């Protein structure tokens, strides 16, 4: 009887190892995020006023443009842990309004932000068709500003600021091709989603 139990246990272990081996080890993805901290800062004029001193007395800053466009790759390490990196791009066009006494009462400004972030995730559920995970990404963000100030003089600046994204809860659905959605907070957004492929 003990031999029978031992054989059953061995078969179960082998079956589990085979099932884990069938899970793809690499995930390449692209997506879109909304509600990033960088965008919120621009909406409140913090980054522009900090980078270009002559914007400090702007009376109004109105922003339009893209939210976060992201791409990356995750490598499965062991169990539910994966390590990778992601690149995030965000372009915002700002209309800056100054006092009526300025030489240039209104001007347009463009901000391009590129973030490069290593990424660490832990999968609470890691099945062939569904994954549920949490994680964190962090790294430098390069912000490039260019436009015209209140004196009608061309201005440009570049600053490096830290980027951080908390992936509070992510869900990935699909076998070879997958769709994912993440809720979190940081440089990418409060809600992100996209598609990817397992290799």
Span 102-118, pLDDT tens digits? 667 777 888 899 999 99
Q: Which residues make Cβ contacts (< 8 Å) with residue 21, sequence separation at least 6?
A: none
pTM, entire model: 0.74
Structural domains of the chain, with CATH:
25-198 (2.40.160)
Task: For residue 142, name the pLDDT band (cuts at 50, 70, 90).
Answer: very high
Span 25-67, pLDDT tens digits? 899 999 999 888 777 777 766 777 777 776 766 777 777 777 8
**Alpha-carbon distance 72 to 87, whole Å?**
6
Q: Which residues make Cβ contacts (< 8 Å) with residue 42, sequence separation at least 6?
A: 48, 61, 63, 92, 94, 111
- Decide if 65 contacts 109 (C-beta within 8 A): no
For 106, the enclosing helix (H) or strand (E) is: strand 106-126
Q: Which residue has the tokens 């309004």?
A: 97
């Amino acid at each position: 009887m003990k031999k029978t139990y031992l054989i059953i246990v061995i078969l179960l272990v082998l079956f589990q190892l085979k099932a884990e081996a069938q899970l793809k080890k690499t995930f390449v993805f692209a997506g879109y995020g909304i509600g990033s901290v960088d965008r919120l800062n621009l909406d409140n004029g913090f980054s522009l006023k900090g980078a270009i001193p002559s914007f400090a007395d702007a009376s109004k800053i109105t922003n339009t443009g893209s939210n976060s466009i992201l791409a990356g790759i995750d490598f499965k390490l062991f169990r539910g842990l994966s390590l990778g990196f992601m690149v995030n791009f965000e372009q915002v066009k700002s209309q800056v309004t100054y006092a009526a006494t300025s030489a240039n009462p209104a001007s347009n400004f463009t901000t391009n932000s590129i973030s490069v972030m290593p990424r660490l995730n832990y999968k609470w559920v890691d099945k062939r068709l569904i994954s549920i995970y949490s994680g964190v990404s962090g790294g430098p963000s390069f912000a490039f500003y260019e436009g015209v100030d209140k004196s009608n003089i061309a201005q440009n600046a570049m600053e490096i600021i830290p980027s951080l994204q908390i992936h509070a809860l992510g869900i990935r659905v699909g076998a070879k091709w997958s769709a994912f959605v993440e809720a979190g907070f940081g440089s990418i957004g409060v809600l992100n989603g996209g598609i990817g492929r397992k290799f």
